[in-house]
Amino acid sequence: MDASAWDERYAAAQLVWSVEPNQFVARECADLTPGRALDLAAGEGRNAIWLARRGWSVTALDFSAVALDKGRELAASSPMDGDIEWLVADATTWRPDRDYDLAVLAYLQLAAEERRAAVRTAFGALVRGGTFLLVAHDTTNLTEGTGGPQDASVLMTSDDVLGDLADHDVVVEHAGRVQRLVTANDDHGGEVSRTAYDCLVRLRRG
């Protein structure tokens, strides 16, 4: 989907994603000292707003202006110790003009070449010792899990992401598959929990 298609999707719903941060972003970033953060493909800003509430100065970047406008509205009603810069740009071609202590890519599902460009941009934006965090639908989710994209070309594994940075100085803190419970309606009008599988990569820049 291109930017105009995502604009249409965001315009068609009150919120496409939840107002709460992604559970893995919240878990992995909770122990970090606030500084300057980059949220690539920030969407409606749920992770950026959570970080800013905790004192981070965040650049929230997405190629959908509609999504970022909704993020600004959400942020206006959220008391924050930090701040957010909302930036309309493509994560695969944008180049940072400053250094960051944290770079987050949450569910940016792209084909390999585009993914590699975004991953390398995010990691390259970090200061030495900075944290890189990627969460995405894992390749195995297509056959073993539930939900998520049904196009295998935009799914990934932690090995794919590490391969994108093979020529960089990385310190691996976590790289693997994680489980996420998804609640859905069953055939009888009740609810059932199913397991989705995500790829989670947390690195430090050496």
Q: Considering Cα of 33, then 35, then 40, then 43, what sign does the dihedral take? A: positive
Of the two residues 1 and 66, the one the predictor is more confident about is 66
Number of domains in the chain: 1
Is there a domain that residue 23 lies in? no
pLDDT of 193: 84
Within its chain, how far is the Cα of 159 from the centroid?
18
Expressed in percent and rounded to 5, the helix, strand and coil fractions of the chain are 30, 35, 35
Is there a domain that residue 61 lies in? yes
Structure-block tokens of residue 21: 């941060």
Is there a domain that residue 18 lies in? no
Where residue 192 sits, what CATH number does that domain have?
3.40.50.150
Domain that holds residue 120: 35-205
**pTM score, whole prediction:** 0.90
Is there a domain that residue 51 lies in? yes
Share of the chain above pLDDT 70, in %: 87
Query: pLDDT tens across 151-172, in order?
Result: 999 999 999 999 999 999 999 9
pLDDT of 185: 60
Least confident range from 8-22, 73-87, 167-181: namely 8-22
Is there a domain that residue 11 lies in? no
Three-state DSSP class for residue 123: helix
Query: pLDDT tens across 170-201, in order?
Result: 999 999 999 999 876 655 555 678 999 999 99
